[in-house]
């Protein structure tokens, strides 16, 4: 049963931004063959290179993060707990944080899978830890409940955070 839920989330609800395009870039770090011509990591489509000072700034801006707070729902006669909540995070090379959503499912034994819109990542975890996958980044994080999941008791809130690099 768990495999069916996980396969459904992975293949049908996985956001398109995670599989956006191939990684082939030119000397400036830009996708020359794509339309429109665009750059990652503060690459410049108009210049032939970058200075050393801006390169160190680019290295610092590669860290992506998210912090999530939400609610875990308890379904009757189910081993699966859907969850959803708010997220604040950064996926902008300029360092701008944004608000978004975090949602997914968790099995009663601790395996979970979720999507975070602010860091544009997918979380796959077990109990308290997870690995986060983005289009250009991979990272680690944690998730914990602020209460216990028990039948006939209101499902708890949860808190999670990730850092991708």
Residue ranges making up the domain that contains 100 = 2-18+62-164
Q: Is residue 37 part of a domain?
A: no
Averaged pLDDT, 103-132: 93
In the chain, how many domains are there?
1
Q: Show the tokens assigned to 57.
A: 């700034």
Q: Is residue 51 part of a domain?
A: no
Q: Is 81 helix (H, G, I), strand (E, B) or coil?
A: strand
Q: Is residue 55 part of a domain?
A: no
- Check pLDDT > 60 for residue 76: yes
Contacts 24+ apart (CB under 8 A), 138-141: 138/164, 138/165, 139/64, 139/163, 139/164, 139/165, 141/66
- Residue partners of 79: CB distance under 8 A and separation at least 6: 1, 2, 107, 108, 109
pTM: 0.61
């Amino acid at each position: 049963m768990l495999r069916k839920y996980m396969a459904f989330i992975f293949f049908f609800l996985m956001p398109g931004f995670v599989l956006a395009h191939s990684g082939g870039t030119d000397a400036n770090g830009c996708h020359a063959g794509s339309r429109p011509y665009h750059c990652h990591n503060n690459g410049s489509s108009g210049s032939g290179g970058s200075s050393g000072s801006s390169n160190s700034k680019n290295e610092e801006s590669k860290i992506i993060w998210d912090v999530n707070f939400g609610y875990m729902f308890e379904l009757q006669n189910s081993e699966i707990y859907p969850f959803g909540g708010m997220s604040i995070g950064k996926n902008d090379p300029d360092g701008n944080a944004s608000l978004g959503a975090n949602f997914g499912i968790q099995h009663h034994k601790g395996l979970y899978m979720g999507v975070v819109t602010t860091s544009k990542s997918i979380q796959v975890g077990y109990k308290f830890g997870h690995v986060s996958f983005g289009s250009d980044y991979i990272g680690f994080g944690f998730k914990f409940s602020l209460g216990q999941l028990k039948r006939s008791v209101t499902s708890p809130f949860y808190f999670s955070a990730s850092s991708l690099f």
